[in-house]
């Protein structure tokens, strides 16, 4: 479980639930129970209102206009950058680049850093826990540059084999890319140790923070990571936006990822001079309204307190684990010591898809399948799992209903 501060306190879950409009509906004639938070979590009304407020009040393009609406939109957009700087403790706001989310952030680094710094024979290390978005971009750039990929092995409990990782490191290692927390199993990786070991051989490190940013304290300076990728939609924010943190010296050395407006200082048909960071990597009109609302989502997390969120979610995970193990035939996949609130399991003789479909008939939303981690499923020699993932607005009563429904499914299918 994640470490909890002694200052963490219980909070009024019913008051929190009132802030999420989507939760108050029926699905298939049953009250909705939403346990698919690792895919995306729901949005509080303040975030929804922030999006609406931008479009209804000051919709305008940013950075280029001098009229009142443009200046208001620009200020709101840049306030999110400043808030995110504080949220992850970056050295400066200019080290924050807005992207479509974690996937684009990783692709940006693979494309830009990869083309600049990777050569034939160089090595990239990823882990067996990775989402496809932290595998495929490295395969593409490795093939293009003639580099090689090595993989950190996953132990039976779903944790990484750190000793084996250390054996992979060499002077050929140019980049290590691992997730902070696994979307499939919930495993929290020892990223500080991974980063420190990589730096000993001169390698740079990218951390996929999609599953960690809303749950764990993120201090990029303390971690000393070179890149950190974030998705807003897993932080109670909008879909289609996120950010990449990168150390200034690296971002300045990397070429632009895309060409267009805003990322330039001067253009002629003979030569283009590129803009300073972060704008060098933010070509074209961005997703302004959603970036503005991202700040509201970050403020929502800060107001609740990450210690409070972590304590509540850890309690839910422990409770669900205890209850589900009492159902005959259930096997939990991934039982590492340190986890975010993800419970991945299979049931002997029943396909995960069938379980998911029957739980949905009871109004319970879980995720089934390989969760965009097919190599990880192959590691455990399974086709996929049922994944229940918990958030700040979930309750033990909802878990009880899921367990009751799952027990009925198992007895019916058996």
Domain parsing of the chain, residue ranges: 13-40+305-413, 48-302
Gap between the Cα atoms of 260 and 269, Å rounded: 14
CA distances from 131 to 126, 280, 367, 399 (A): 10, 27, 15, 26
DSSP 275: P
pLDDT at 5: 37
Gap between the Cα atoms of 185 and 102, Å rounded: 18
pLDDT at 64: 80
Chunked into runs of 10 residues, the chain (414 residues) has average pLDDT values of: 40 93 97 98 98 97 90 97 98 98 98 97 98 98 98 98 98 98 98 98 98 95 98 98 98 87 64 76 92 98 95 97 96 96 97 96 97 96 97 98 96 82
pLDDT at 4: 34
pLDDT at 407: 96
Which residues are tagged catalytic?
Answer: 372
Domain 13-40+305-413 has CATH 3.40.50.2300: no
pLDDT at 10: 59
Direct distance between the N- and C-terminal alpha carbons of the chain, in angstroms, rounded to an integer: 33
CA distances from 4 to 182, 309, 336 (A): 20, 10, 17
Axis-axis angle for helices 396-413, 306-324 (nearest 10) = 30
CB 340 within 8 A of CB 184: no
pLDDT at 269: 73
pLDDT at 7: 40
To the question of pTM greater than 0.75 for the whole model, the response is yes
pLDDT at 3: 36
CB 32 within 8 A of CB 398: no
Nearest to 413 by CA among 358, 367, 332: 358
pLDDT at 204: 98
CB 27 within 8 A of CB 51: no
Helix (H) or strand (E) holding 227: strand 227-231
CATH number for the segment(s) 48-302:
3.40.640.10
């Amino acid at each position: 479980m994640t470490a909890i501060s002694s200052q963490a306190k219980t909070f009024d879950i019913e008051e929190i639930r009132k802030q999420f409009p989507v939760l108050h509906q029926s699905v298939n004639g049953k009250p909705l129970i939403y346990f698919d938070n690792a895919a995306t979590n729901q949005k509080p009304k303040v975030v929804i209102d922030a999006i609406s407020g931008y479009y209804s009040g000051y919709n305008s393009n940013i950075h280029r206009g001098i009229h009142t609406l443009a200046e208001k939109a620009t200020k709101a957009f840049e306030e999110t950058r400043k808030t995110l700087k504080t949220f992850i403790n970056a050295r400066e706001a200019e080290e924050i680049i807005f992207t479509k989310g974690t996937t684009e952030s990783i692709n940006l680094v693979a494309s830009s850093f990869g083309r600049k710094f990777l050569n034939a024979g160089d090595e990239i290390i990823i882990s067996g826990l990775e989402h496809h978005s932290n595998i495929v971009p490295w395969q593409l750039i490795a093939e293009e540059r003639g580099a090689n990929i090595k993989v950190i092995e996953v132990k039976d409990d779903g944790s990484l084999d750190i000793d084996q990782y250390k054996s992979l490191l060499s002077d050929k290692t140019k980049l290590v890319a691992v997730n902070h927390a696994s979307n499939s199993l919930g495993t929290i990786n020892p990223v500080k140790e991974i980063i420190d070991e990589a730096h000993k051989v001169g390698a740079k490190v990218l951390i996929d923070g999609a599953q960690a940013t809303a749950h764990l304290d993120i201090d990029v300076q303390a971690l000393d990571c070179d890149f950190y990728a974030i998705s807003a939609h897993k932080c109670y924010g909008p879909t289609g936006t996120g950010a990449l943190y990168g150390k200034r010296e690296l971002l300045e050395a990397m070429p632009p990822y895309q060409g267009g407006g805003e990322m330039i200082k001067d253009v002629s048909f003979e030569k283009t001079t590129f803009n300073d960071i972060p704008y060098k990597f933010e070509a074209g009109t961005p997703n302004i309204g959603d970036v503005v609302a991202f700040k509201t989502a970050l403020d929502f997390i800060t107001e609740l307190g990450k210690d409070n969120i972590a304590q509540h979610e850890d309690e839910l995970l422990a409770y669900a684990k205890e209850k589900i193990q009492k159902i005959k035939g259930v096997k939990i996949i991934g039982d590492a010591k340190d986890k975010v609130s993800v419970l991945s399991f299979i049931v002997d003789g029943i396909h995960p898809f069938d379980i998911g479909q029957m739980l949905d008939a009871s109004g319970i939303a879980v995720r089934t399948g390989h969760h965009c981690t097919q190599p990880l499923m192959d590691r455990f020699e399974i086709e996929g799992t049922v994944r229940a993932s918990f958030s700040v607005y979930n309750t033990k009563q909802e878990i009880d209903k899921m367990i009751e429904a799952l027990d009925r499914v198992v007895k019916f299918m058996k």
